[in-house]
């Protein structure tokens, strides 16, 4: 069963990864091509390195990250060129570059532009390629900053116009996949208890973890992005925490359930009732979490000759899982 199950689980994941790889590769290739075309058309091919490098560095999987990288790239180029130009009026060569780098760190930190430090340092070093340091003047600094702006603008426009990313669509898709997976598994357990099918195999945690990790990445991006109000209004941070807790308790609950003998577990009324309650929490009107009641599980252990500790552990995992599924149902979009 395991060899047949693994490709089934891996295929959708590999498909999503391949789609992301193709998307990002096309975005980068188009951004570089358009940037080089603009450089040729404006007869600035001699310094095409600057806009092309800016486009390569700025292109990101996330549009908000692309804008942040573009801002850092432009600020770094301007400040790096300005500081290097001022230093080179007094010093030249590697000594001038060293002094420029020493001055950049406190200046950029004081301005709160730490993200531009790498670009500023690279700009200072690249200016060594100028044949004569006399050529390093205001016009040169302005033109290289303009080249960098062109590369950044092209990278942003390519991402926004051709491959826009909708984080909330992805969040809703991952949320729906997780709901369908748990709901389908609970329905299988319900059919098993009615002797309509074989005992279900526990869910593979890998696809659940993949969706949760993706949701965490998207929520982290939107938290610092321009649409953070929409994130709070839809309560995505609360939903993410509930999903993380639900996955943890689900895996533990299902493994404990799997450890019980099949015939006795299938005939146990508390187990039948608990699975029905979980199904109702996720698919119907959620109710309050039932209070802790160890007596019914002790009676079950005596009646079915089952080990008591796994039954008590099963009951302890059931309560937080019941609460998490109910909370997710309440926060689900209507």
Instruction: Report the C-alpha gap between 126 and 190 in whole angstroms.
Output: 67
Predicted confidence band of residue 41 (pLDDT cuts 50, 70, 90): confident
Are 56 and 97 spatial neighbours (Cβ–Cβ below 8 Å)? no
User: pLDDT tens for residues 203-217?
Assistant: 999 999 999 998 998
Residues of the chain above pLDDT 70, percent:
82
Collapse the DSSP code of 295 into the 3-class scheme (helix H, G, I; strand E, B; otherwise coil) and give the result: helix
Distance CA 100, CA 121 (A): 8
Residue-wise pLDDT for 76-133, tens only, equals 777 777 787 777 777 766 777 778 778 888 887 887 777 777 777 777 776 655 655 5
pLDDT digits (tens, 9 = 90+) for 42-55: 877 667 777 887 77
**pLDDT higher for 286 or 126?**
286
The CA distance from 250 to 256, in Å, is 10
Tell me how far apart the terminal alpha carbons of the chain are, to the nearest angstrom.
39
pLDDT given at position 10: 45
- For the chain, give every domain's residue range: 2-161, 168-331
Closest CA to 276 of 208, 211, 190: 190
Enclosing H/E stretch for 29: helix 2-41
Give this prediction's pTM.
0.62
Whether the pLDDT of residue 238 is over 90: the answer is yes
Measured CA to CA, the distance from residue 196 to residue 199 in angstroms comes to: 9
pLDDT at 9 over 60: no
- State the Rg of the chain over Cα: 29
Q: What pLDDT shows up at residue 68?
A: 64
Better-predicted residue by pLDDT, 182 or 307? 182
């Amino acid at each position: 069963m395991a060899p047949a199950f693994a490709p089934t689980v891996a295929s959708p994941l590999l498909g999503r990864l391949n789609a992301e790889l193709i998307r990002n590769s096309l975005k980068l290739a188009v951004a570089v091509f358009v940037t080089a075309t603009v450089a040729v058309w404006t007869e600035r091919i001699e310094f095409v390195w600057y806009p092309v490098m800016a486009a390569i560095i700025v292109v990101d999987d996330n549009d908000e990250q692309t804008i942040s990288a573009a801002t850092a790239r432009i600020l770094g180029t301007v400040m790096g060129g300005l500081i290097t130009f001022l230093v080179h009026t007094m010093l030249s060569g590697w000594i001038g570059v060293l002094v420029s780098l020493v001055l950049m760190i406190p200046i950029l930190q004081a301005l709160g532009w730490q993200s531009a430090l790498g670009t500023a340092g690279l700009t200072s070093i690249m200016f060594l390629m100028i044949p004569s340091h006399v050529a390093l003047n205001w016009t040169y600094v302005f033109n290289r900053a303009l080249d960098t702006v062109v590369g950044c603008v092209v990278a942003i426009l390519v991402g926004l116009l051709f491959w826009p990313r909708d984080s909330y669509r992805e969040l809703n898709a991952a949320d729906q996949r997780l709901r369908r997976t748990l709901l389908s598994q609970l329905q299988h357990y319900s059919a098993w208890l009615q002797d309509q099918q074989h005992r279900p195999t526990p869910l593979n945690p890998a696809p659940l973890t993949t969706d949760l990790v993706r949701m965490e990445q998207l929520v982290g991006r939107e938290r610092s992005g321009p649409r953070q109000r929409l994130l709070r209004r839809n309560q995505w941070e609360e939903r993410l925490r509930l999903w993380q807790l639900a996955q943890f308790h689900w895996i533990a609950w299902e493994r404990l359930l799997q450890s019980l003998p099949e015939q006795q577990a299938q005939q146990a009324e508390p187990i039948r009732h608990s699975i029905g309650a979980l199904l109702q929490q996720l698919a119907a009107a959620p109710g309050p979490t039932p209070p802790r009641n160890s007596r019914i599980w002790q009676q079950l252990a005596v009646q079915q000759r089952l080990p008591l500790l796994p039954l008590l552990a099963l009951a302890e995992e059931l309560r937080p899982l019941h609460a998490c599924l109910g909370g997710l149902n309440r926060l689900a979009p209507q």
